[in-house]
Structure 1
Amino acid sequence: MTMPLVNRVIIPEEQINRESGEIEHGSIEEKRAEAARRLAIRELLRQRAKTIGIETRDRLDEAIDELLDREVPTPDADEQACRRYFEANRDRFRSPEEIELRHILLAAAPDDAQGRTAMRDTAEELVATLKEVPERFDDLAAAHSRCPSAEDGGHLGVISRGDTVPELENVVMRLPVGLAERPVETRYGFHVVEILTRAGGAPLDYDHVQHLIAEYLRERSWRRAISHYLQVLVAEADIRGIDLEATESPLMQ
């Protein structure tokens, strides 16, 4: 990688290596490239802070915050904007949903195609059986499930969003009360699922969510303002060895 230059200031390789260690996803080269972008943006902001008289030595983070407070003002969302957003997005504002469920896990590794096919077939057979004799759920869970909940008839208790793996959650949170018509596939295998109870999901009044809407709209405005501000700084700078023009701001991450 060519060492990035920001107005003739080099971003040292050791800094790039250290910063890349803070990035969780991507290949080594992708992490290094992202690290270089982040450091180049910070250097650009450091230079701008120094230009307008903000002390940056040994306090760069604080200096950047001060710089952005001065040069990227973000107005609070007014009542009219909040109400307009609420009316356009009413379905988003509901009380947290909770479901009580039990399941039978037919376990199979993600890379075991033959095993997954067999477990899917078994799961479908169990669904057919439970449609005929629903009172056997506890016994079938004890006999077939590879989840610790098998000892309690497959009972998982009450869950809400974020309590289980997304591929299971995305299905079960939409199911009606009762036995699911088809097994649910996840990374762990196939789940025979029964929803026992549902609660929550009731529409919320504007007064309950106004502060959340105001915070969201202000955050969205801030992101847009920061993006525009950085675009202006990048356009005015002499930057070499890295393309920042199409880069989303690391400040937004």
Structure 2
Amino acid sequence: MSELAAPAAAISAAASPYLTLKHANALFSTTPEALTPEQRQQVSTVVARQREIERRILNSPQAAHVVVNDEAIARSLGEIAARFTSEAEFVLDLARHGLSEQALREDVERDLRVEAVLEMVSARVAPVSNLETELFYQLHYPRFQTPERRSLRHILITINDDTKDNARAAAHARIEQIHALLLKSPDRFAEQALRHSECPTAMQGGLLGQVPRGELFPSLDEAAFQMRPASISGVLESPMGFHILRCDNVQPAGTVPLTAVRDKIRAQMLKTRRENKQRAWVKTLLAR
């Protein structure tokens, strides 16, 4: 077990390769060397502010009671190293960004200490009551509405006038032939999709999955949401080509009951409550 050291020297005012790398990715999804001068300035500003916040957090009286064990540090380091194909690649990448394994360990340990202090500060927020979860549910009622969905399959024959079998007339004749067979034997839809469909879904019997209104091409969407379960559409056309749809089942629009989401609502409200407590506490530190 390693206990928190209180001196301000625990966090230097120097630039942090670790935080620079972290924020370059978080803000711009890139590496520090790929930043533009303007982006680099933004990252530098964020890094400087974060280091000041961390300094004040780790020099607070609350931080004196926080410990971070070696197992937690090793686990975090392992998660970082696991992103690389080998240890050599990991070490080379650290060096490329101006980091050593020891420096990374110190940065990770500092992160864990800051997180632990913030968790301790917010540990005693008031629990979320059943009444509060019910009020949240009622105030955000539209969020818990589920749209009508249909489980659909399709067969696609593409149109390509540069290819004999897919020239418009030939493609239409092919799909009409498939359609005629399916009207006689609708249970063979998955088989026919596997044999003839020119969509990657052919490998799953043409399965598109549970589809809400508005996700398909307009011509397909309009037909799909008029179909009954186990029915087959006529031949339809979209910018991709000719289609046949099958509606396997219909999931009506409805409402997710409070009992199904109560625990998720409570967890989210508690998380928000703790984050607000942490922000308020940090604000008092910065005001001193």
Q: Measured at CA, do residues 36 and 78 of structure 1 come closer, stay the same or move farther in structure 2, by a change above 3 Å?
A: farther
Q: Aligned to 2:152, what secondary structure does the other structure show?
A: strand
Shift of 1:9: 1.2
Partner amino acid for 1:219?
K
Q: Contact 2:153/2:209 (CA < 8 Å) preserved in 1? A: no
* Distance in 2 of aligned mates of 1:103 and 1:168: 11
1:10 aligns with 2:57: no
1:196 aligns with 2:202: no
Q: Measured at CA, do residues 74 and 141 of structure 1 come closer, stay the same or move farther in structure 2, by a change above 3 Å?
A: same
Q: Which residue of 2 aligns with 1:77?
A: 128
Q: Which residue of 1 aligns with 2:225?
A: 176
Shift of 1:143: 7.9
CA RMSD of aligned residues (A): 5.3
What per-residue deviation string (whole Å, max 9, x for no partner) do you get for residues 161-196 of structure 1?
A: 9xxxx9559x97xx63624997677xxx57844432
User: Superposition pairs for residues 102-117 of structure 1, below 5 Å?
Assistant: 102-105=153-156
Shift of 1:76: 2.7
Q: Measured at CA, do residues 191 and 219 of structure 1 come closer, stay the same or move farther in structure 2, by a change above 3 Å?
A: farther
More helix by share: 2
Shift of 1:48: 1.5
Q: Which residue of 1 aligns with 2:35?
A: 29
Q: Measured at CA, do residues 199 and 24 of structure 1 come closer, stay the same or move farther in structure 2, by a change above 3 Å?
A: farther
Q: Which residue of 1 aligns with 2:22?
A: 19
Q: Aligned to 1:9, what secondary structure does the other structure show?
A: coil
Q: How many residues are aligned here?
A: 205
Q: TM-score, structure 2 length as denominator? A: 0.48
Q: Which residue of 2 aligns with 1:48?
A: 56
Q: Aligned to 1:11, what secondary structure does the other structure show?
A: coil
Q: Contact 1:97/1:200 (CA < 8 Å) preserved in 2? A: yes
Shift of 1:220: 2.9
Q: Contact 2:154/2:193 (CA < 8 Å) preserved in 1? A: yes
Q: TM-score, structure 1 length as denominator? A: 0.52
Compare relative contact order (CA 8 Å, sep 6+) and give the higher one, 1 or 2. Answer: 1
Q: Which residue of 1 aligns with 2:89?
A: none
Q: Which residue of 1 aligns with 2:84?
A: none
* Distance in 2 of aligned mates of 1:181 and 1:229: 64
Q: Measured at CA, do residues 100 and 11 of structure 1 come closer, stay the same or move farther in structure 2, by a change above 3 Å?
A: same
Q: Measured at CA, do residues 97 and 70 of structure 1 come closer, stay the same or move farther in structure 2, by a change above 3 Å?
A: same
* Distance in 1 of aligned mates of 2:258 and 2:132: 12
Shift of 1:83: 0.8
Q: Measured at CA, do residues 9 and 135 of structure 1 come closer, stay the same or move farther in structure 2, by a change above 3 Å?
A: same
Partner amino acid for 1:135?
L
* Distance in 1 of aligned mates of 2:15 and 2:180: 69
* Distance in 2 of aligned mates of 1:21 and 1:181: 51
Partner amino acid for 1:19?
K
Q: Aligned to 1:150, what secondary structure does the other structure show?
A: helix
Shift of 1:211: 1.2
* Distance in 1 of aligned mates of 2:241 and 2:48: 47
Q: Which residue of 1 aligns with 2:268?
A: 216
Q: Which residue of 2 aligns with 1:207?
A: 259
* Distance in 2 of aligned mates of 1:129 and 1:233: 73
* Distance in 2 of aligned mates of 1:211 and 1:197: 30
What per-residue deviation string (whole Å, max 9, x for no partner) do you get for residues 40-59 of structure 1?
A: 45423321233214269943
* Distance in 2 of aligned mates of 1:43 and 1:29: 20
2:144 to 85, 88, 93: 93
What per-residue deviation string (whole Å, max 9, x for no partner) do you get for residues 3-32 of structure 1?
A: xxxx981323x3355436755964532775
Q: Measured at CA, do residues 135 and 209 of structure 1 come closer, stay the same or move farther in structure 2, by a change above 3 Å?
A: same
Partner amino acid for 1:10?
A
Please identify the structure whose Cα radius of gyration is greater.
2
Gaps of 5+ in 2: 1-10, 69-105, 228-232
* Distance in 2 of aligned mates of 1:197 and 1:229: 53
* Distance in 1 of aligned mates of 2:60 and 2:208: 58
What per-residue deviation string (whole Å, max 9, x for no partner) do you get for residues 212-240 of structure 1?
A: 11112222333444455556656x49xxx
